Amino acid sequence: MAHNKKSGNTVSAVLKLAEPYARQLGFTIWDVRYIKEGSYWYLRIFIDKPEGVTIEDCEAMSRAINDPLDQLDPIDGEYCLEVCSPGIDRELVHAEHFDAFLGAVVNARLIRPLEDGRKEILGILQSYEDSVLTLETQEGVLLKINKKDTASVKVCDDYIDIDEEFEEEPEEDE
């Protein structure tokens, strides 16, 4: 299966096509990815809305863009279209994602380990400027990490017992 068009061009074309349909249905596009897994190519469109995304939302978006996507034909060869939610442990990819989750607990997986051997950093996202994220670790240390040195940065909404330093409000004595 030949894929002559570059992934970046495909993603840009699909994003441009999908955004008006998403808006019309009340969604925002969180991300678009065109990736190969095994011998199959996947076009994944991640949609979001404030109250969360349902399976019905994914189906509605998929139905809305299926025919226009076929007409645009941005991809040479076969692929599988998937419309999905970014999930509770969503990956932060674009600057606006980092800005929206300032103050949140995130897990940064690094491409290369730090001097102490760690490849994963759990901390509070303090800032994101010029593609550099600043995380405050459980120990209270501020780490600056270049986005290009990360394999992924994900929100940890389900992380429990991170440490008292990470609680927003102190516990009241009864």
Tokens 């004595």 identify what position? 173
Q: What is the mean pLDDT of residues 162-172?
A: 46
The rounded mean pLDDT for the chain is 87
Taking CA atoms, 55 is separated from 29, 36, 52, 83, 154, in Å, by: 15, 24, 10, 9, 22
Q: Quick one: CA torsion of 116, 155, 24, 12, rounded to 10 degrees?
A: 10
In the predicted structure, residue 39 carries a pLDDT above the cut 90: yes
Over residues 18-27, the pLDDT tens digits come to: 999 999 999 9
Higher pLDDT, 127 or 75: 127
Query: What is the pTM (predicted TM-score) of this model?
Result: 0.78
Give residue 161's pLDDT.
Answer: 44
In the predicted structure, residue 38 carries a pLDDT above the cut 50: yes
Over residues 72-84, the pLDDT tens digits come to: 888 888 899 999 9
Q: What is the mean pLDDT of residues 89-115?
A: 94
Computed over its alpha carbons, how large is the radius of gyration of the chain? Answer: 19
Q: What is the mean pLDDT of residues 78-102?
A: 94
CB contact set of 63 (below 8 Å; sequence gap of 6+)? none
Q: What is the mean pLDDT of residues 144-148?
A: 96
Give the three-state DSSP class for 140: coil
Over residues 57-75, the pLDDT tens digits come to: 999 999 999 999 999 888 8
Please classify residue 108 by burial: count the beta carbons closer than 10 Å to its beta carbon, then call 0-12 exposed, 13-18 middle and 19+ buried: buried
In the predicted structure, residue 7 carries a pLDDT above the cut 90: no
In the predicted structure, residue 9 carries a pLDDT above the cut 90: no
In the predicted structure, residue 94 carries a pLDDT above the cut 60: yes
Give the three-state DSSP class for 33: strand
Give residue 6's pLDDT.
Answer: 55
